[in-house]
Structure 1
Amino acid sequence: MSEQPAATRRRSPEQIGQPRRIPSQQRGRERFEKILTVASELIEINGSDALKMSEIVEKAELSFGALYQYFPDKTSIIRTLAERFNEQGRQCVADELAKVTDPETLHAALCTIADEYYAFFRREPVMRDIWHATHTDKLLQQVDAEDMEFHAQALFSVLRLLWPARTEAELLAIARLTMQLLAAAVRYAVSLDEGEGAQAIALFKKMQVADIGRLLA
Structure 2
Amino acid sequence: MAKVAPTSTAPDPADEATSGAAFRHRTLAQQRSRDRLERILGVASELIAAKGSDAIKMGEVAEMAKISIGSLYQYFPDKSAIIRALAERISAASRQCIEQALAGVRDLDGFLAAFAGLVDQYYAIFLAEPVMRDIWSATQADKQLRALELEESRACAVLLTKIMTRLHPGVAPEKIAASALLIWQLGEATMRLAISVDRAEGDALVEAYKRMTLRELAQP
* TM-score, normalized by the shorter chain, greater than 0.5: yes
Mapping of residues 39-50 of structure 1, within 5 Å: 39-50=44-55
Indicate the residue corresponding to 2:177 in structure 1.
172
Question: Could you tell which deviates more after superposition, 149-158 or 53-62?
Answer: 53-62
Structure 2 counterpart of 1:156, one-letter code: T
Relative contact order: is structure 1 or structure 2 higher (C-alpha 8 Å, sep ≥ 6)?
1
8 Å CA contact 2:164, 2:217 repeated in 1: no
Q: 1:24 to 1:110 in 2, by over 3 A?
A: farther
Indicate the residue corresponding to 2:166 in structure 1.
161
Indicate the residue corresponding to 1:212 in structure 2.
217
- 1:116 maps onto 2:121 in alignment: yes
**SS of residue paired to 1:192:** coil
Whole-Å Cα distance in 2 between the matches of residues 67 and 194 of structure 1? Answer: 38
Structure 1 counterpart of 2:121, one-letter code: E
Q: 1:24 to 1:154 in 2, by over 3 A?
A: farther
Whole-Å Cα distance in 2 between the matches of residues 26 and 95 of structure 1? Answer: 29
Residue of 185, 188, 193 corresponding to 2:193: 188
Whole-Å Cα distance in 2 between the matches of residues 162 and 138 of structure 1? Answer: 36
Number of residues of Structure 1 aligned to a counterpart in Structure 2: 193
8 Å CA contact 1:135, 1:144 repeated in 2: no
Q: 1:99 to 1:208 in 2, by over 3 A?
A: same
- 1:37 maps onto 2:42 in alignment: yes
8 Å CA contact 1:185, 1:201 repeated in 2: yes
Aligned-pair identity in percent equals 45
**SS of residue paired to 1:129:** helix
Q: 1:24 to 1:161 in 2, by over 3 A?
A: farther
8 Å CA contact 1:189, 1:200 repeated in 2: yes
Instruction: Let me know the Cα RMSD of the aligned residues.
Output: 1.7
Indicate the residue corresponding to 1:197 in structure 2.
202
1:97-116 per-residue CA deviation (whole Å, 9 max, x = no partner) reads: 22322222222122112111
Indicate the residue corresponding to 2:71 in structure 1.
66
Indicate the residue corresponding to 1:132 in structure 2.
137
Indicate the residue corresponding to 1:84 in structure 2.
89
| Shift of residue 180, structure 1, vs aligned partner | 1.3
Structure 2 counterpart of 1:207, one-letter code: M
| Shift of residue 121, structure 1, vs aligned partner | 0.2
Whole-Å Cα distance in 2 between the matches of residues 96 and 58 of structure 1? Answer: 40
Whole-Å Cα distance in 1 between the matches of residues 182 and 144 of structure 2? Answer: 23
Indicate the residue corresponding to 1:107 in structure 2.
112
Structure 2 unmatched runs, 5+: 1-27
Whole-Å Cα distance in 2 between the matches of residues 124 and 196 of structure 1? Answer: 19
Question: Could you tell which deviates more after superposition, 163-172 or 39-48?
Answer: 163-172
Runs of 4+ in 1 over 3 A off after TM superposition: none
* TM-score, length basis structure 2: 0.82
* TM-score, length basis structure 1: 0.83
| Shift of residue 53, structure 1, vs aligned partner | 0.8
Indicate the residue corresponding to 1:144 in structure 2.
149
Indicate the residue corresponding to 2:57 in structure 1.
52
| Shift of residue 208, structure 1, vs aligned partner | 2.8
Q: Which has the larger radius of gyration?
A: 2
1:75-103 per-residue CA deviation (whole Å, 9 max, x = no partner) reads: 11111111111122112211222232222
